[in-house]
Amino acid sequence: MTETFIPVNTPLLDGNEAEYLAECIRTGWISSEGPFVKRFEEAMADVAGRRHGIAVTNGSVALDIAVYALGLEPGDEVIIPTFTIISCAAAVVRAGLVPVAVDCDTATWNMTIEGVEAAITPRTRAIMPVHIYGLPVDLGPILELARKRGLKVIEDAAEMHGQTYRGSPCGSFGDVSTFSFYPNKHVTTGEGGMILTDDDALADRLSGLRNLCFQPQQRFIHEELGWNARMTNLQAALGVAQVERLPRTIEIKSRIGRLYDEHLADLHCIRRPVPSTDYADNIYWVYGVVLNDDVPFDAKEAMRRLAQKGIGTRPFFWCMHEQPVLRRMGFMLSDSHPNAETIARRGFYLPSGLALTEGEIARSARALKEILA
């Protein structure tokens, strides 16, 4: 008997999503002018403990606009983790700035204060902490360093809706923070993103940049180039319904993580996610595993074997300092970040979607044990 394929992600849309979408259709409000956009911005600002939320079309453009809006000078350096998505480096490069990559911690997979301190130069102007896969960056010392040196901080909380750092919400730190609402996120709008800040003037600037820098008095005369990154009312309607169920979402994800931990406790040839640190409990946005050195193959081969057993997986991020496009531009040419290089080659994540059943978790864990036996 062939078993069904278990996808790596499955969103849950069983709250008020359909009702709110129907309201958009019934009222004719489908564009970015509709009332759900403001409601969603306020709801996410509340989740993140921020004064302002500016909804945009995805988490990548949220970073583009956030970095650009800080008004740094061409050639200024921004410290980013090498273990992250390309969006982080792309936002820095598109703003005319220089990405400086730092290695990650072997256990939490996040950037560290030691890495950041070692990467500071006289040209450093900003730091972009990016929370990876379920545990936040240990932000305290990084924020303190930024404060002392007058550096800007862009907090990429794309994966971290509903997570906290020492009791304060992720997305509440730094000058500006960003979220993604892609379907694998704890809050999804299909595609979508948000930029958040407590700074009133910066919020105004971010809203202008999101909306082509139209001017209130003379709409089609522009002093600056912006983006059309407006979120539609349809997307925001989904978002409002998703935020309503965020606490349950976090509970489900945490439970998925705990169940995988139980099933995989006796599998000693992998590294599992750290369940908690002194500043946060893991919320398992995704359940990642890293193959130990004694496994005679890499993540790619493990994923191929799991696919044959009907288990969907995703590789870990590929390091920024190893990206052909960035290297061709001359960035990070002499970098070496062994921790991130290792997990990029030996790490992948198991099915982690919200609709995952206990049976599917057990089957995925069993399949992993079988391919590693």
Ligand X SMILES: Cc1ncc(COP(=O)(O)O)c(C=O)c1O
Among 82, 84, 177, 339, binds ligand X (CB under 6 A): 84
Among 159, 175, 322, 341, binds ligand X (CB under 6 A): 159
Q: Which residue is nearest to ligand X (CB)?
A: 59
Which span (64-72, 81-89, 204-212, 235-243) binds ligand X, by CB under 6 A? Answer: 81-89
Measured CA to CA, the distance from residue 71 to residue 201 in angstroms comes to: 13
DSSP 273-296: PP-B-SS-B---SSEEEEE-TTSS
Q: Does 85 bind ligand X (CB under 6 A)?
A: yes
Write each residue from 165 to 204 as x if it is in contact with ligand X (CB under 6 A), else as -, in one continuous string.
Answer: ---------------x-x----------x-----------
Q: Is 329 helix (H, G, I), strand (E, B) or coil?
A: coil
State phi, psi for 66 to the nearest 5 degrees.
-60, -45
Among 53, 59, 129, 226, binds ligand X (CB under 6 A): 59
Measured CA to CA, the distance from residue 94 to residue 229 in angstroms comes to: 16
Which span (12-20, 58-66, 227-235, 354-362) binds ligand X, by CB under 6 A? Answer: 58-66
Among 9, 60, 197, 352, binds ligand X (CB under 6 A): 60
Report residue 321 as tokens. Answer: 């300092």
Amino acid code (one letter) for 339:
N
Which residues of the chain form beta strands (DSSP E)?
52-56, 77-81, 98-102, 124-127, 152-156, 164-165, 168-169, 176-180, 193-197, 270-271, 287-291, 314-315, 347-350
Measured CA to CA, the distance from residue 109 to residue 83 in angstroms comes to: 8
- H or E element at residue 176: strand 176-180
Measured from the CB atom, the residue of 130 and 256 that comes closer to ligand X is 130
Measured CA to CA, the distance from residue 83 to residue 104 in angstroms comes to: 7
Measured from the CB atom, the residue of 59 and 351 that comes closer to ligand X is 59
Write each residue from 100 to 139 as x if it is in contact with ligand X (CB under 6 A), else as -, in one continuous string.
Answer: ------------------------------x---------
Question: Pseudo-torsion of CA 41, 84, 11, 348, nearest 10°?
Answer: -170
**Do the bridges between strand 124-127 and strand 152-156 make them parallel or antiparallel, or are there none, so unpaired?**
parallel
Measured from the CB atom, the residue of 44 and 264 that comes closer to ligand X is 44
Measured from the CB atom, the residue of 313 and 367 that comes closer to ligand X is 313
Number of residues engaging ligand X in binding (CB under 6 A):
13
Among 40, 41, 48, 58, binds ligand X (CB under 6 A): 58
CB 91 within 8 A of CB 195: no
Find the shortest distance in angstroms from Cβ 180 to ligand X.
3
Polymer length of the chain: 373
Measured from the CB atom, the residue of 229 and 259 that comes closer to ligand X is 229
Residues 222-241 that bind ligand X (CB under 6 A): none
Find the shortest distance in angstroms from Cβ 163 to ligand X.
12
Nearest partner of 352 among 84, 4, 11, judged by Cα: 11
Write each residue from 139 to 158 as x if it is in contact with ligand X (CB under 6 A), else as -, in one continuous string.
Answer: -----------------x-x
Question: Degrees (nearest 5) of the Cα angle 20, 23, 27?
Answer: 150
Enumerate binding residues for ligand X (CB under 6 A): 58-60, 84-85, 87, 130, 156, 158-159, 180, 182, 193
